[in-house]
Amino acid sequence: MVEKLKIFNVEHQQIGTASRDDVHHKGLWHETFHCWFVSEDLTEIFIQYRSDKKKDFAGLYDITAAGHLTQDETVLDGIREVKEELGVAVTFDDLVPLGVIATSYVTAGFVDREFCHVFLYKFAGTLADFDLQEEEVGGMVTANLQEFRDFFKGEADALRVRGFKLGVEEPVDEMVGMRQFTLEENNYYGKLIDAMELRGIL
């Protein structure tokens, strides 16, 4: 069955539906759901390592959990992505809305234009509490939230991440650069930081 997504004009008004393949070949605007986990004391942020098997952006660091919203879904349904990818059940009421961030990524044969509905979740657990969907997720790491802010505001050259990758015995403890993240060309992270600061998270 072909997965269909709602498509929009640049003003974020729905203009129809299209298959996921058409959306990415034609560069049609569509909606996604982003959920960032932070520790309850707001000192750490959880960062997904995308599976090396992924068709797009394999082996890059990414949003804690994210996914496309299909033609039958509203932003309220986005929480299914958290359960599927991370094995963690959350309710929509538990999420802190950070707004909509528009992103556009263009490469040969692939144009990704998204209206990203971004949320924050204060997570009481640890890295050991995730039950990752191996086809989608290759690991999980954390970073100090203030260092995350400084890195994406251009005040630091690298970011220290610590955690694990599936199938790798040694724990992850490395310094990573901007090119090791998805969405790094859109100032997505700068807008994310601004939204966190606006809501007193940072």
Kindly report the CATH number assigned to the domain that includes residue 33. Answer: 3.90.79.10
Residue 39 domain boundaries: 4-198
- Determine the pLDDT at residue 186: 74
Mean pLDDT value of segment 103-122:
93
Is the pTM higher than 0.85? The answer reads yes
- Determine the pLDDT at residue 107: 84
Q: How far apart are CA 123 and CA 47, in angstroms?
A: 13
Span 2-52, pLDDT tens digits:
889 999 999 999 999 999 999 999 999 999 999 999 999 999 999 999 998
Question: According to the 3-state scheme, what is the secondary structure of the chain?
Answer: CCCEEEEECCCCCEEEEEEHHHHHHHCCEEEEEEEEEEECCCCEEEEEEECCCCCCCCCCEECCEEEECECCCCHHHHHHHHHHHHCCCCCHHHCEEEEEEEEEEEECCEEEEEEEEEEEEEECCCHHHCCCCCCCEEEEEEEEHHHHHHHHCCCCCCEEEEEEECCCCCCEEEEECHHHECCCCCCHHHHHHHHHHHCCCC
Question: Over 90: is that where the pLDDT of 124 sits?
Answer: yes
Domain count, the chain: 1
